[in-house]
Each structure stands twice: as structure tokens, then as C-alpha cells.
Amino acid sequence: MITATPEEELAAIDHELSQVASEIETLKIRQQYLLQRKSGIKDKIQALKSAQLASRDWNGTDFPWSDKLESTLKNVFKIKEFRPYQLPTMNAILSKEDTILLMPTGGGKSLCYQLPSLVANGFFLVVCPLVALMEDQIRALRKRDIPSYMLSQSTPKDETKLAMMSMVDKKSPMKLLYVTPERMAKSKTFMNKLQQAHEMGRLACIAIDEVHCCSQWGHDFRPDYKYLGVLKNMFRGVPLLGLTATATTKILLDVQKILQIQGCLILKSSFNRPNLYYEVRPKPLVQKDYLSEVEDLLKHKYSGKTGIIYTTTIKDTEETCNQLRERGIKCVFYHANMDPDLRSRAHHGWLDGKYQVVIATIAFGLGIDKPDVRFVIHQSLSKSMENFYQESGRAGRDGLPADCIVFYRLPDVFKVSITVFSQHTGLENLYGMVDYCIDVGSCRRTLIASHFNELWESGECKGMCDHCKSPTQVNQINVRQHCLTLYEIIDHASNKNIKLTSQKMMDAWFHKGAKELRVPNSKPTSLSQPKAESIIAFFLIQSYLREDFHYTAYSTLSYIKKGARSIEALSDDSGIMMDVRGVKLSSNNSYEPEKTSPTKEVNGKNIPKNTPVPKSSHVSSGSKGISDKDKNKESKKSSSSASTKEVISISDSSGDEDIQPKHKKAKKCIDSDSDY
């Protein structure tokens, strides 16, 4: 019998080990897949349970408490009727059903726990993230003689003592007790009292304001909110009410898991604010020109009206404020680093009409309840669509028309990206906002709606966004050649060991700045700067380019690299299609495609019949390789576009000056964007 040498034995073992490793790898992938499926099915069950609960009639007026609710609404709150979803929420929590209420800013969420607390036995606990907000609410409640307390670090000792005693005093008239999430998470004495109150049957409901703060997927995650996950088990039988003005399906599912109320009732009022006019303006390249545009708005269109200008940084608030003051505007700045006294004076001066406009960071936000804010201007883009919705939503709370204007330019994206890149989904959220800003034809409302998984037809906008007010035809052009040119610039810099910021990349593209960054024998692009910027933004959000962040001793820098889809762009010579503005349509959107331009279908899209189809037939590949969610968004976008969209025939064979219309209609369209 031939025995194996030790070397052969080792080789055999190594072989078997590698087989085992490969099987483990396969099993791990299988495990991952099964775990994902399991979680998906659980989410479905949860959503189904929520849908079943929502199908019950919560709007009834024949509950045991209905008459008292109605009379308290009128007599104590002096309100004539409920707004949509207020009564269903109250009926649900008084029926001890865990509920999440989604309602836009200013929709009237507070009433949903304040009013039922007056008809229930015991008191409602309200978890609220902001002390200023609690103070405002307590002041308003006490004016109505509603016994209420708050517990925060700034609450005087005697009041804290009184509140703690009231929790466990059967005879106490206390109806509402406001606490910060920190208090819940950190004060054992408080939690102990709360348990006693629960045992006495005095804890009637726990309302959690800004409930999206529980979820790391949200824009406003607060670690102390995670602690609220203990409440459901600790206070059995006490209904939880989560309230938010901003939440996507993903966040909602996450919030339910964290609070242990999977499958709870979800009441969602529409996020459409029909009185708000949405507009994106190109921000002038020079700050002086931007200021002149704002000055003109404030002195003419918004003369005698009040509003907010949001900026990205604290420095910007002060600088812009000083510059506008020099131009005779009555304004004040507001940010988190101000002395609390000054901040309060700025807030109240603005509330009382002493200042026309407050120039603020997002620190000026939660709890700002001025009904007649006529405009919210974003000096640069918000860090997410959710932030934008919240911030712009401070306009027009009285239901009268108000404007929400964003001034957009590409360099601002990098000012924000360096502050959000380290956050969970920070960049993804920011790019969602960029997508909104660079969109050339969709109804802005429908873009906001798709973010909240709502579907609004652009007809519902009624001209209340820039695109619906002045529709233009939307064309698709092939920008692949530009992508390849930028890759050459990136490779060239990389060969020289130079990191490229977006500005340096632009300079090299335009043959400005350092000569060593220009690709030898290349020509400068003939694009205008705004168009070059919009192409770069498009490549970023579509992952043809990506940002790469580096820390220096003083700051964080964003460098540009090839994105995850660069392989696709390099290997596949079908187009990278990008939407651009075409001819202006008449205001009734009456542009009719010419009858002489028959179309054919390629990849599910109608294109002019004489359009040459690229080899791989990926003709409309602006969205190729994107996730299902994005595809969904794309399809929603196109179905609700304010404008007419047409794929036009182009050739990408001759570099920056490449676009050769092959088609009569296309020529007309291309003329209006001839330098792409």
C-alpha cells in the first residue's frame, strides 16, 4: 500500500480546508439571504397588521368619550372642529391602541394628546426633545387652566417636587407631564415614581413627540430616544402615541421595532401643503449678486412680510445678516452658539415683527409657531429632503400662500457633504436633496411626495411650483462622453499623486488653474459653468463619481473619485442619459409632439423612430443599475412630470461639442441647450 508523504497529506488537508471555507462562505451568503427574507416577511406581517387596524372606523362619534371630547374642544380649546386625523388619533389612544401619527408641521399634532388627556383618568406623559417647545406648550396650557408640569434640568426644584408628588397623588388634577428623553433615560427616581403612578392606574398614555428621533435611519437620531424601547414592557396596558412630521416607511418600521409596538395603528395625513409654492433658483456665482437678488425679494415681493433665511453654517448666518443690514434690511441672526439671552431676543424680536427676516441655522426650528411666515429661503440646500420639508414647512402655517425657495449651486453640496458623510445615510440623504435641486421638469410637489411614499399627481399642484408654473419640455441627452473626459482628468491627477477637489476637477475641465492638472492634448470644455456643475451633480447622485473624504488638522475635505458605476460607464458604450431643459411650453402645457416624428419603443421608452439605437440597446440608461426604490422613484417622477419628456437622438462621437441633432424635433430642443 502506498502511503502519502507528509507533504501530500498537508496539501490534501489544505485542499479540504479551502473546500470547507468555500462551503462556509456559500452558507454565510445563504444565511444572509434567509435573514433578509425573514426580516422582509416580518415587515410585511407588521404592515398588514397596521393596515387591518387602520381599516377600522376611528372617526366615529359614538365612543363613550365622544361627547366630552367635542365639548372640551369647543369650551377649553375654543376650536370649532377637528382637523383630519385628529379625532381618529384621539379615539385610538382612548381605546388603548398603540398609534403613530404622521402629520405635517403645523397640522395640529399637540391637540391629539392634549385634548384626550382632559377626558381620561390620570395624566398623559409627553416625551419631548426640546425644552423651549415644552415651555411654550406649558405656558399655553396654563393659560387655558389645564394643570400641567414639565421636568427638565432647568425646572426649579420646588416645581420638580410638585410634579413628582402629583404623579402619585390620586387627587392631583395634573393632566399633562412633559419630560425630556434624557430625564427618562437617566433619572431612576423619576422612573420609579412613574412605575408607582402606573401601578395606581394614573398613567393614561405616553405620547412621544418627534418619534422619528428613535431611528438611526432618520435625519435627527437622538441616542436617548433608544431608551424609550423599555416603555412598552414596563408600562403594560398604557398606549403609546408616537408623533412625527417626517417619516419614511423604513423609518416607521424601525420606530415600531424600537418602541416594541410592531403592527400598531398608523395614521398618516397627507403631507401635501397646497398653500406652499416651491421653487429652486440657480444661486449666482458671486455672493454680491446673490445678496442683490435676496435684497430685491425682501424689498419688493416680500415687502411688509415676514420670513426665514436658512444657512448652512453659523458663520454664514452672521455674515449674511450683516451684509443684508448694510443693504437696509431689518434682520437678525440666530444660531446655537449664541448667548441664550440674545437668542431669545432675536426670536421674540422676529415674532413681534421688529425684524422682517431671521437668518438662521437649523437651530431655529422645532417649536417655531408663527402662523404668518410668508417665505422660507434656503441660502443653500438642506442636508436631506426631510430637513427641507421640515424647514420649509415653517412657512404658511396659517394656510395662506407662502413661498419656499432654495438657492442651489454645486459647491454648496460639498459644504454640506463634509458635515454629513460620517452619519448613517448622511450622504444618501443629501444626494436626495441634490436630486430635488437639479431636477429640470418634475413637479416639485410630486418629488416631495415620492420621498414620503405618497403619490400626488402634478395636477394637484395647481401651478404652485416653479416647474408647474412655467413648464418646459424635458429632453434626455447622452452625457457619457463628459463622464469619460472627467475620468481622464481624475486618472491624470492620480498618476501625478494629486487629489482632486470638485473645484480642481472643474478647473482642469475648463483649462483654468494649475496647468499640471490639464490632460495633455485635451481641449477645454465648451459647457457653461452651470451646465458643467449640473452634469457633475448628476454623476455624483448616479454613482458615476463619488466623494472621498479626508481629515486634515483643521478641516475635512471632499475629493472626487470615480464612482461605483465607472466600470459600467467605461465598458458599456450605450448612453448615460441625463434630463435637460428643452423648449418652454405654454402655461397650459400644450406642447404637442410633431406629427412628423413617429416613435418606436426601446427598453420600454418611446423614442423618435429615426433615433439610432446604441449597440447594447441601453438607450435610456440614466437610471440603469439603480435600486428598485430609485426605479420606483424614477417611474413616479416620470408619471408626474410637470413637463413633456422626450428622448432625443444624439451622437456622442465627437467630444464636448458632440451633440448632433439627427431629427427635426430634436434640433429644436437641442438649440435651447446647445452647449451640452
Ligand X SMILES: Nc1ncnc2c1ncn2[C@@H]1O[C@H](COP(=O)(O)OP(=O)(O)OP(=O)(O)O)[C@@H](O)[C@H]1O
- Tell me which residues touch ligand X (CB under 6 A): 79, 82-83, 86, 103, 105-111, 245, 369
Nearer to ligand X, 86 or 417 (CB): 86
Q: Which three cell numbers stand for residue 366?
A: 422645532
Least distance in Å: CB of 395 to ligand X?
12
What is the signed CA dihedral for 6, 10, 11, 16, rounded to 10 degrees? 140
Residues, the chain:
676
Comparing every residue's Cβ against ligand X, the nearest one is 108
Cell, residue 634: 424614477
CA distance 633 to 432: 11
Record the cell numbers describing residue 1, joined without a space. 500500500
Instruction: Work out how close the CB of 371 gets to ligand X at its nearest, in angstroms, rounded to a whole number.
Output: 7
> At closest approach, how far in Å is the CB of 94 from ligand X?
17
Q: What is the DSSP letter of 297?
A: I
The Cα 105–Cα 98 span in angstroms is 22
In the complex, minimum distance from the CB of residue 118 to ligand X, in angstroms, rounded to a whole number: 15
Sequence letter at residue 487? Y
Residue 107 beta carbon to ligand X: minimum distance, rounded to whole angstroms: 4
Which residue number, 373 or 669, has a Cβ lying nearer to ligand X?
373
Closer of 409 and 451 to ligand X (Cβ): 451
Q: Where are the alpha helices (DSSP H) in 371-451?
A: 385-392, 410-420, 426-438, 444-451
Minimum CB distance to ligand X, residue 108 (Å): 3
H or E stretch at 241: strand 240-244
- Cβ distance to ligand X smaller for residue 132 or 583: 132
- List % helix, strand, coil for the chain (3-state, nearest 5): 45, 15, 40
**Cβ of residue 364: shortest distance to ligand X, in angstroms?**
13
State the minimum distance, in angstroms, from the CB of residue 82 to ligand X. 5
Please say which residue, 212 or 445, places its beta carbon nearer to ligand X: 212
- Bridge-based pairing of strands 545-551 and 556-562 is antiparallel
Q: Indicate the residue among 50 and 246 with the shorter CB distance to ligand X.
A: 246
Give whichever of 110 and 380 is closer to ligand X, judged by the CB atom. Answer: 110
Complex with ligand X: residue 110 or 620, whichever CB lies closer: 110
Q: How far apart are CA 92 and CA 241, in angstroms?
A: 9
**Least spacing, CB of residue 391 vs ligand X, in Å:** 11
Nearer to ligand X, 271 or 431 (CB): 271
Residues 288-302: b if buried by 16+ CB within 10 A, e if exposed: eebbeebbebbeeeb
Nearest CB to ligand X, comparing residues 106 and 575: 106
**C-alpha span between 177 and 413 (Å, rounded):** 42
- Integer CA distances (angstroms), 47 to 34, 100, 560, 611, in order: 20, 13, 40, 45
Tell me how far, at minimum, the Cβ of 89 lies from ligand X, in Å: 11
Residue 40: how many other CB atoms lie within 10 Å? 10
Residue 239: which region, alpha, beta or left (left: phi > 0; alpha: psi -120 to 50)? beta
Residues 6+ apart with CB under 8 A from 619: 574, 575, 577, 602, 603, 605, 607, 611, 613, 647
